[in-house]
Structure 1
Amino acid sequence: MYQVLARKYRPRNFLELVGQNHVSRALTSALERGRLHHAYLFTGTRGVGKTTIARILAKCLNCETGVTSKPCEVCPTCKAVNEGRFIDLIEIDAASRTKVEDTRELLDNVPYAPTQGRFKVYLIDEVHMLSTHSFNALLKTLEEPPEHVKFLFATTDPQKLPITVISRCLQFTLRPLAVDEITEHLTHILNLEQIQAEQDAIWQIAESAQGSVRDALSLTDQAIAYGQGEIQHQDVKEMLGLIDRTIIYDLIVAIHQNQKQRVSELLMQFRQQALDVSLVLDQLISTLHELALLQYLPDLSLKYSAEINKKIMHLSQLISAQDLQLYYQVACKGRAELQLAVTPEQGFEMCVLRLLAFRPLQPNEVPVTSTQQVHEQIPSETPIQNLQQQHIVHEHSPVKKFPVEDISETSIAITQQNIVSSSDEVLGDVIQAVAEILPTPDSAQIVFDPTSEDALFDVDVSTDEAEQVAVDHGPNSDDVLFDDFLPLDKAETETETILPSNDAKAELETDLFLKQTHSLDETVEQVVNLEPPVVAPIAPTISTCDQANFEENKTLAETDLKKNSNLMPQDILKLTPQQLEGAWTVDKWEYWFRNSTLSPAVQELAQQGIMLGQIDGESFFQIPPKYEQLLNQQQHALAQALKDQWPNTHFQVNYVEVDISTPYELQNERKERAYARASELLHKESAVKDILQNFDGELQNIQLK
């Protein structure tokens, strides 16, 4: 009589066990040393060997040669266990015996000695199906069973077991087997069965088994019957209803190379074959995932058959990493929205169209419409009063992105396109002023985004309607962003212009803001994340009340700037390097903690006090009493940082009022001077002067960030 492969080739000892080495090693060691527990819990998904290991363990405990990790397989006990008729191996299906009465019946027989073997073994499968009362009835016996009783539990859902049961057992978690492990095992069995099989077909069965050896053997039986005694790759794909990976690869290549005709043919093929589009999309996502792994983490990628490995390696070299990430994100989003579409096929096809429509911008590409198209939309003779109905870019228009390459060749055209026709006399001056200071190809990348929080200057150009002009220096990026800049008229008309600048992030320091200030061709250098002064600045704020206040504030600012006439704002903010030796001073203290690895919270407290005493010796930190509660929580971190750098430091804290300038006050003073200097430099900008002159405006609310 024929016996299915899953039963015929069930492992009979630990040597035949496939995978689960961590379990077999522990049990073998326990058997050889006689350190046997009275209850074992085996958990894991279906078909990974839970019941098989329990039976092997029962055989090892009752073999007539003695308790051993290598049963003889020839004695009556071993044969009876293999044939499922050993009287002292009591297998119970918990799914069919869930009631507490069934458990009581089982417990009534526990005290009796085994009939044939050395131990009476209770193997309870799917133990999580027992009721709460059954578990409670089992607890006492499970904790202290007779010496001749062993409990072996198996379950696929250990979360449903009471913690009181788990704590009384030795738990072993069986893992799903890898594809290559199952492939090797199937190849060995098919050789024993003398069945011809293609390696790709075996690999496909192993992958479809999803880590379960029993599922793999059952599919193998089915494939043998389907293939009339042979296992062919095409037969396996048809039997399992799998999607040919070649189609997925062709679809990815067609999308990547923007071959619309090829994509159309593949979609038509999907329709004709009536494939499950959700499975197609799943396969597409899995393939993209494998491609990304091959590019960065090849050791984690799956081991496919030779044919598939060749194709997937070619794809990983053909498609860039940024394209893969975009494709994966679009495909996952499409998979989540598949059920929202009118039909799954519609949702899948729209997802493919998104993959075609969107792709990362290449370094040498500038997505900008030609100037001619703009002039076709707005004739040059259009008067400025009529631009309210025909403005080019509205304030809600999306931000346009341009890479830095070849920016000098397109900048002027873009500026003219985003403002108005060149026939307008007033705005022509603005265009000319802006064009003269646009960056050259050697310039660093620039970013304009008035809404950015990283802006150094937010400048409002006030007209009669109090409209705003914003100049922003955003963070480093690969793009140039043009956004709303200045009003055109008292009407609601809004056009755009740009003042170039550049922002490259650094920590608590900034590089050069203006390379030179006496030429229209100079470029704006990097200014980074300068926090606004906490106290109100003395000079830089320009009053909006009237021209008299403006002149008064300007005079005060110029007085403070005389001391720093040749310095940039970031140079004013820089701390003077200090030799950290000898006695502590305010400058040394500030220089040390601002350049240390202390957390922001500790540095915030450190700037509120001063350090006295000797470096690498007796050090006294003075801080006002109001910070005592906060410092108590952070004192250890400060003391440890000092101790790590200077081992001989003896750190003490004195809570007294500080009567000299603290680092906090010094920092605010530097920020005020830097603010005033920045305001002065901004007023000297030719482009700003032209705008103020042409529009009869004034600068307001200059913010240093």
Structure 2
Amino acid sequence: MYQVLARKYRPRNFNELVGQNHVSRALTSALDRGRLHHAYLFTGTRGVGKTTIARILAKCLNCETGVTSTPCEVCATCRAVNEGRFIDLIEIDAASRTKVEDTRELLDNVPYAPTQGRYKVYLIDEVHMLSTHSFNALLKTLEEPPEHVKFLFATTDPQKLPITVISRCLQFTLRPLAVDEITAHLTNILSQESIDADQDAIWQIAESAQGSLRDALSLTDQAIAYGQGAIHHQDVKEMLGLIDRTIIYDLILAIHQNQRARVSQLLLQFRQQALDVSMVLDQFISTLHELAMLQYLPDLSLKYSAEINQKIMQLSSHISAQDLQLYYQIACKGRADLQLAVTQEQGFEMTVLRLLAFRPLQANEVVVHQAQANVIASPAIQAQQQQNTVEQPRSEIQQDLPVEHASENTADETLENIQKEQSFSQENAHVVAQVAVAEVQPEPSSDDYLDEPLTSVETSENVDDQSAQSHQDQVSAVDSQSQQTFSAPEQQENEAPALTMFDDGQTPQAPVKAEKNIVESEDIFFLNPEQVEPETPSSASVEVAVAPVATEITKTQNESLVLAQTEQQTLSKVSTSSSDRQTPQQILTLQQQDLQGEWTVDKWEFWFRNSGLSPAVQELAQHGVMKGHIDSESFFHIPQKYEKLLNQLQHALEDALKQQWSNTKFFVQYEDVNETTPFQMQTERKARAFERAAEMLQTETVVKNLINIFDGELQNIQLK
């Protein structure tokens, strides 16, 4: 008659026991030294050997050769225990005998001596199923039993046992078996049974058993029947309903590389195969854990085929540790919410889409927020408001003119010049808005990776030469016209320029063209630092980069109604003062370097800040200096405290150097750097840029007028 593998190959002594070395060692030593306890408690998950160890212990206590850790296996007692007919081994299923009456009946027979063996052994399986009254009835006997009685308890849920019972026993916790241990045991059994089996199939059965040797043997019996006397990997996957691991690897890689078309194909494949998505998500999470472990334990042995091992190693090298942690967290959250979804398939697909939506940004990607888009539209809004404020009826212009010089032709010409001025200001506002779109997001600096430094001021570009010349011509025309029209120019020259006030209480609206540009802009765009030219702005800015330019436009329009000559002098002063010294943007801009010959700190900083390296590598590079020769032997000097970080990022820095200069031989020297580092140079530039911005802000006309009118002061000046 056929006997299942789990019963046929049940261990019969401590030498055959698989795993649980900590238990077998303690029991063997106690048996050899004669230090036996009267009650033992074995806990652990299903199929790890609780009942088996209890039977082996009963055999050791009653073997005819004496109390020993190595029973003879040939005496009548050993054979009776193996066949389950030893009269003094009383096995009780607590799940079917939970009442206190059953316990009292058991305790009534305790005082009597054993019939056949040396000890009367009570083996109570699933002891946690006993009722509270049963435990109370057992306490006194369990504490002081007769010398010929031993109690052996086994349970999968020790938390349900009263602490009074646990304190009277020696407790041994059996651990789940490792996959390697189960695999080796199954291989040995299959060789004895002469069953042809693939190693990958055996490993898959061992992994599916989840630490239970009995489950592994039961699955092996099922696989032998399914494979018609043989165990093949494909048959095991079909029997267990498992998915191909390569599909999981392809899904992770497609998510990491943002290949949405490939992700869609894989999701359709999951639907067509009608796979258990909870199992797919479990496999996904397990793979992420495996990849993360490989990054910190590269020598971790893999038990898969050569093809799968190669894919795992490639994935581990391509995905960063922080990305794996993010994926793992999202996947675990999706696994917990799987039961809350309408269907499990829906919950799984939304988890995959969440992994795509919350993917980490690359080094050359920047997100454009709606708040920044509003900043872009602010110059155009101010220009539109200026048009509403400056526009006056012709009758009002005539009323402002002296009677003896007022004429219809003169008023018409003056109004025409003012309209040209307004048209020119609107064109400048659109130019400023377009420049701000390119400047609103500066290139991410490596200094922002670990520190919180000052950031550079983004200022607007000057108007091109042709527009500036046209503006100068219009100002001259208005000047000549004002000398003929106004009767008291000396009095108006002494008047201070007025501030523009919005008295209507309405919020100014941005032009339609600016709104359209904002709506059509992409959420994510790629920066190209090599195409950004350094600007020569006309004024500094606070919070909004283009606000001073719009303020200059406002001042120009208001002064053109009062005195064009004053406007011309003011513009000349601003132009002269801005050309005297550098702007914050120019201070923060690195000078172009000729990357040839010997390394210098300027060449080193210019190269790594424009080489496309990740922010982490740039942060590391700025704390050291490069010496030697370009495209030859290069020695990177850096303090010893950065050794651990450099060990992780050295390959990226070395690959970037060799990619640009193939003959580079990269060496690292850990020592204190006494020379000026790029980090110190960048910090000094930021300090000078901040001082220059504060100085320019103090000289701004509108700021000075606000301070004088409201008796205010400038606080918390920031560069953005």
Range class of TM-score, shorter chain: 0.5 to 0.7
Deviation at 1:691, TM superposition (A): 7.6
**Amino acid of the structure 2 residue aligned with 1:522:** R
Match of 2:589 in 1: 440
Of 522, 531, 550, the residue aligned with 1:424 is 550
Whether the 8 Å CA contact 2:100–2:133 is kept in 1: the answer is yes
Unpaired segments ≥5 residues, structure 1: 446-510, 525-680
Distance 1:686 1:515 in 2: 20
User: What's the % identity of the aligned pairs?
Assistant: 72
Higher Cα Rg: structure 1 or 2? 2
Match of 2:199 in 1: 199
Whether the 8 Å CA contact 2:88–2:117 is kept in 1: the answer is yes
Match of 2:633 in 1: none
Deviation at 1:281, TM superposition (A): 1.8
Match of 2:363 in 1: 363
The structure carrying a bigger helix percent of its residues is 2
Match of 1:186 in 2: 186
Does residue 1:64 correspond to 2:74, yes or no? no
Distance 2:682 2:303 in 1: 56
Distance 1:238 1:5 in 2: 22
Q: How do residues 137-536 of structure 1 correspond to structure 2 at under 5 angstroms?
A: 137-298=137-298, 303-367=303-367, 382-384=383-385, 388-390=508-510, 406=529, 409=532, 419-420=545-546, 424-426=550-552, 436=585, 439-441=588-590, 522-524=688-690
Match of 1:699 in 2: 713
Local SS of the residue matching 1:347? helix
**Amino acid of the structure 2 residue aligned with 1:38:** H
Q: How do residues 18-167 of structure 1 correspond to structure 2 at under 5 angstroms?
A: 18-167=18-167
Distance 2:161 2:338 in 1: 37
Match of 1:685 in 2: 695
**Amino acid of the structure 1 residue aligned with 2:145:** P
Distance 1:383 1:422 in 2: 16
Whether the 8 Å CA contact 2:204–2:236 is kept in 1: the answer is yes
Deviation at 1:302, TM superposition (A): 6.6
Q: Which moved more, 1:165-174 or 1:324-333?
A: 324-333
Deviation at 1:315, TM superposition (A): 1.3
Change in CA separation of 1:688 and 1:298 when aligned onto 2, cut-off 3 Å: farther
Distance 2:682 2:309 in 1: 55
Deviation at 1:275, TM superposition (A): 1.5
Deviation at 1:366, TM superposition (A): 4.2
Change in CA separation of 1:264 and 1:703 when aligned onto 2, cut-off 3 Å: closer
Deviations 1:194-230 (A, max 9, x none): 0000011100000000000000000000000111101
Whether the 8 Å CA contact 1:58–1:121 is kept in 2: the answer is yes
Change in CA separation of 1:424 and 1:377 when aligned onto 2, cut-off 3 Å: closer
Deviations 1:255-286 (A, max 9, x none): 22232222221111111111222222221121
**Amino acid of the structure 2 residue aligned with 1:71:** P
Distance 2:714 2:551 in 1: 26
Distance 2:48 2:77 in 1: 25
Whether the 8 Å CA contact 2:384–2:509 is kept in 1: the answer is no
Distance 1:411 1:148 in 2: 96
Q: Which moved more, 1:373-382 or 1:311-320?
A: 373-382
Distance 1:413 1:374 in 2: 20
Distance 2:8 2:259 in 1: 52
Change in CA separation of 1:249 and 1:520 when aligned onto 2, cut-off 3 Å: closer
Local SS of the residue matching 1:67? coil
Q: What is the TM-score with the length of structure 1 in the denominator?
A: 0.60
Q: How do residues 555-574 of structure 1 correspond to structure 2 at under 5 angstroms?
A: none
**Amino acid of the structure 2 residue aligned with 1:244:** D
Unpaired segments ≥5 residues, structure 2: 389-506, 555-570, 591-604, 610-678
Local SS of the residue matching 1:216? helix
**Amino acid of the structure 1 residue aligned with 2:218:** S
Deviation at 1:684, TM superposition (A): 5.8
Distance 1:348 1:151 in 2: 49
**Amino acid of the structure 2 residue aligned with 1:424:** A
Whether the 8 Å CA contact 1:11–1:17 is kept in 2: the answer is yes
Deviation at 1:374, TM superposition (A): 9.4
Distance 1:270 1:83 in 2: 49
Local SS of the residue matching 2:171? strand
**Amino acid of the structure 1 residue aligned with 2:696:** S
Deviations 1:308-367 (A, max 9, x none): 333212211122223222322332333333344443323322322232333323334444
Distance 2:271 2:309 in 1: 28
Q: Which moved more, 1:200-209 or 1:421-430?
A: 421-430
Whether the 8 Å CA contact 1:63–1:75 is kept in 2: the answer is yes
Deviations 1:419-478 (A, max 9, x none): 558973537999989754663356999xxxxxxxxxxxxxxxxxxxxxxxxxxxxxxxxx
Local SS of the residue matching 2:92? strand
Match of 1:583 in 2: none
Instruction: For CA contacts below 8 A with separation 6 or more, give which structure has more relative contact order.
Output: 2
Deviations 1:537-581 (A, max 9, x none): xxxxxxxxxxxxxxxxxxxxxxxxxxxxxxxxxxxxxxxxxxxxx
Distance 1:514 1:352 in 2: 42
Distance 1:302 1:138 in 2: 50
Deviation at 1:140, TM superposition (A): 0.7
Number of equivalences? 476
Whether the 8 Å CA contact 1:408–1:440 is kept in 2: the answer is no
Deviation at 1:254, TM superposition (A): 1.7
Distance 1:520 1:319 in 2: 34
**Amino acid of the structure 1 residue aligned with 2:384:** P
Q: What is the TM-score with the length of structure 2 in the denominator?
A: 0.59
**Amino acid of the structure 2 residue aligned with 1:238:** E
Deviation at 1:236, TM superposition (A): 0.7
Match of 1:484 in 2: none
Distance 1:321 1:310 in 2: 19
Change in CA separation of 1:24 and 1:305 when aligned onto 2, cut-off 3 Å: farther
Deviations 1:638-692 (A, max 9, x none): xxxxxxxxxxxxxxxxxxxxxxxxxxxxxxxxxxxxxxxxxxx799633354386
Deviation at 1:36, TM superposition (A): 0.5
Distance 2:352 2:533 in 1: 33
Deviation at 1:405, TM superposition (A): 9.9
